[in-house]
């Protein structure tokens, strides 16, 4: 996969993320930016964004960043820290590779809303399937 359109087509098969509105916005070397427009289905019982939404978006951004050239990485461990609530109508996740080796990699994923409010930070350690 080389172009953004090829990457989008490939990751459309990531059904849980895409059926919940998540899209690939940009790719680069060890980098991906993904987003989701927030709707009623993303909210919890008190009207806030359900915690699984930023986590799923971050996981999706990691998957795109780590696998858009060669699909071989899976998440081995992920840790989320919630920093604040989304005040806007869209979440944006940017995954950045910090280190990549033969069998493991390490990514930081920052989740914000379109207004720039910090929502969550996710640390992902990945494992190579081959």
CATH number of the domain encompassing residue 50: 3.10.129.10
Would the CA dihedral through 92, 79, 96, 68 be positive or negative? Answer: negative
- Take residue 84 and report the two structure tokens written for it: 């604040």
- Using a 10 angstrom Cβ sphere, with 0-12 exposed, 13-18 middle and 19 or more buried, the burial of residue 77 is exposed
pLDDT per residue as tens digits for the range 101-126: 999 999 999 999 999 999 999 999 99
Rounded mean pLDDT, 1-14:
91
- On the question of pLDDT at 1 being above 70, the answer is no
Cβ atoms within 10 Å, residue 109: 26
Evaluate whether 64 touches 32 at the Cβ level (below 8 Å). yes
Neighbours of 110 (CB within 10 A): 17
Count of structural domains, the chain: 1
Domain holding 28, by residue range, is: 4-128
């Amino acid at each position: 996969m080389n172009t953004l359109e090829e990457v989008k087509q490939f990751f459309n098969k990531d059904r849980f993320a895409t059926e919940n509105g998540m899209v690939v916005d940009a790719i680069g070397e060890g980098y991906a930016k993904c987003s989701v427009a927030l709707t009623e289905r993303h909210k919890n019982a008190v009207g806030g964004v359900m915690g699984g939404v930023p986590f799923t978006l971050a996981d999706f951004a990691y998957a795109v960043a780590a696998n858009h050239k060669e699909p071989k990485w899976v998440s081995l461990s992920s840790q989320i820290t919630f920093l604040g609530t989304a005040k806007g109508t869209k979440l944006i996740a940017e995954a950045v590779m910090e280190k990549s080796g033969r069998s493991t990699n390490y990514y930081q994923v920052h989740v914000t809303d379109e207004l720039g409010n910090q929502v969550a930070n996710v640390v992902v350690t990945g494992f190579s399937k081959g």
